[in-house]
Amino acid sequence: MQRTGVANLPLHPGRAPRWLFTRMVKLSKAILDVLVIEYGSDEVLKRFSDPFWFQALSCVLGFDWHSSGTTTVTCGALKEAINPEEHGIAVAGGKGKVSRKTPQEIEKTASLFSLSSSTVDSLKSSSRLAAKVDNAALQDGYQLYHHVFFFSEKGKWAVVQQGMNSSNSYARRYHWFSECVESFVVEPHNAIIGDKRETGVLDMTSRVSEETRKTSVDLVKTNPYNLRRDWETLIRSNKQTSLDVWFHEQDGVFKPEVLDMPRGVNWSLIKRVYDFQPENYEELISIKGVGPSTVRALALISDLIYGAKPSWEDPVKFTFTVGGKDGVPYPVDRKVMDESIEILRRGIEEAKVEGRDKLKALRRLKSVLRE
């Protein structure tokens, strides 16, 4: 599995004006009409999973480049613009409560593609796991509030979801694409971009966390009494009464210092997980009810008792998906950048829209290139 990018965006209040949103829907449909014919629906899904291309598309459609609405409004416009029967692509989910309807929307639209029940179940599972991983397995301080699931008539899919950090009012965007699926829980990132690297991030998807993942599974597969004994032993030995201070900075790296287990442990959930007997970490986190607290608690027990240390580093790696003009963090990949821009340019030029709208879109695309 590749998660192909993450972008940090500030929260801007207000809503996109109706006149702008209407034009975004119209222009995005015109561009998609061309792109599907030229490249096919699966290639369009691949582009949605590319944060640079997605950001450029948002700018071309006329939305603010530096706002959390870049994600929510653009996805909303795409959801209205995409016609499953015409484009061979379906869109499910959205912002807030709408995101919870994703499974039902997948089922409803999948029937138009005559997808098998097993494929539909797989799509729903992929949607659920993508959200679960970014909300529980990767604990970076950004709470998911937006989840959009794109899928094609061939069963391939892409996810664009976004989380909000309540302390700084910044959003972080996560992109997924199914074509390179290997594992949901082992470094699914291809490129992660962001303005800020957070500290003290529990990343259970890191290869560094491999032993912690295995130990976590072993812990829940043994008698819950043993897990509870370990838990209480740690609490007594560390005499922790607060959840606020549990790591310190050493040599510029945040490391666990003392136990900080959630005060209330859902032992009935632990018993249910034990009865389920998950075979691997992916099965473990897929169980309903296993959230950030359970993941964190198992990681700390694995570390402090059994020495299986997880990764506490933010997986955000780069600020630019295609590199920087000064070679930082790495030289611009001109081939990738030119290919992305060319696909958008051709889509705009061949789109059946008024000349004025087409000219404005091309000008916005040129402004993206100047950034």
pLDDT in tens, 83-98: 999 999 999 999 999 9
Q: Mean pLDDT throughout 64-73?
A: 68
Q: Name which of 152, 162, 145 is nearest 5 in CA terms.
A: 162
Same domain (yes/no): 183, 212: no
Looking at per-residue confidence, does 340 or 73 come out higher? 73
State residue 1's pLDDT score: 45
**Do 257 and 161 fall within a single domain?**
no
Q: Give me the mean pLDDT over the 295-309 stretch.
A: 91
Q: What is the mean pLDDT of residues 129-151?
A: 94
* Full residue range of the structural domain in which residue 298 is found: 207-304
Instruction: Report the distance separating Cα 4 and Cα 176, nearest Å.
Output: 6
Average pLDDT, the chain: 79
Is residue 158 scored above 90 in pLDDT?
yes
User: Which one of 31-35, 83-87, 261-265 scores highest in mean pLDDT?
Assistant: 83-87
Q: Tell me if 311 is assigned to some domain.
A: no
Helices 102-110 and 117-132 pack at an angle, to 10 degrees, of 150
Question: What is the pLDDT at residue 11?
Answer: 57
Predicted confidence band of residue 320 (pLDDT cuts 50, 70, 90):
very low
Whether residue 26 is found in the same domain as residue 156? yes
Average pLDDT over residues 40-63: 83
Is 309 inside a domain boundary? no
CA 290 to mean position of chain CA atoms: 18
pLDDT confidence of residue 126: 95
User: Are residue 116 and residue 168 in the same domain, yes or no?
Assistant: yes
Q: Are residues 187 and 249 in the same domain?
A: no
pLDDT band at 194; cut points 50, 70, 90: low
Do 215 and 94 reside in the same domain of the chain? no
CA of residue 133 relative to chain centroid, distance: 8
Task: State the pLDDT at residue 328.
Answer: 40
Burial 72-94 (b: 16+ CB within 10 A, else e): bbbbbbbbebbebeebbbbbbbb
Q: What percent of the chain has pLDDT over 90?
A: 42
The length of the chain in residues reads 371
Say whether pLDDT at 123 is over 70: yes
pLDDT at 8: 55
The average pLDDT across 183-189 equals: 86
In the structure, what pLDDT confidence band is assigned to residue 134 with cuts at 50, 70 and 90?
A: very high
Both 222 and 340 in one domain: the answer is no
Model pTM?
A: 0.80
Query: Of 351, 344, 280, 348, which is closest to residue 47 (Cα–Cα)?
Result: 344
pLDDT higher than 70, residue 240:
no
Confidence at residue 245, expressed as pLDDT on a 0 to 100 scale: 44
State the average pLDDT over residues 301-322.
77
89, 142: one domain = yes
pLDDT at 248 over 60: no
- 27 lies in a domain? yes
212, 355: one domain:
no
The stretch 292-297 carries a mean pLDDT of 90
Structurally, the chain folds into a number of domains equal to: 2
| Number of DSSP helices (H) and strands (E) in the chain, helices first | 14, 9
Residues 251 and 332 reside in one and the same domain: no
Beta strands in the chain (DSSP E): 2-10, 89-95, 138-139, 143-152, 157-165, 170-177, 202-203, 247-250, 253-256
Residues 221 and 123 in one domain: no
Determine the Cα–Cα distance for residues 33 and 27; give it in Å rounded to an integer.
10
Looking at mean pLDDT, say which of 21-25, 164-168, 171-175, 283-287 comes out highest: 283-287
Q: Average pLDDT of 238-267?
A: 53
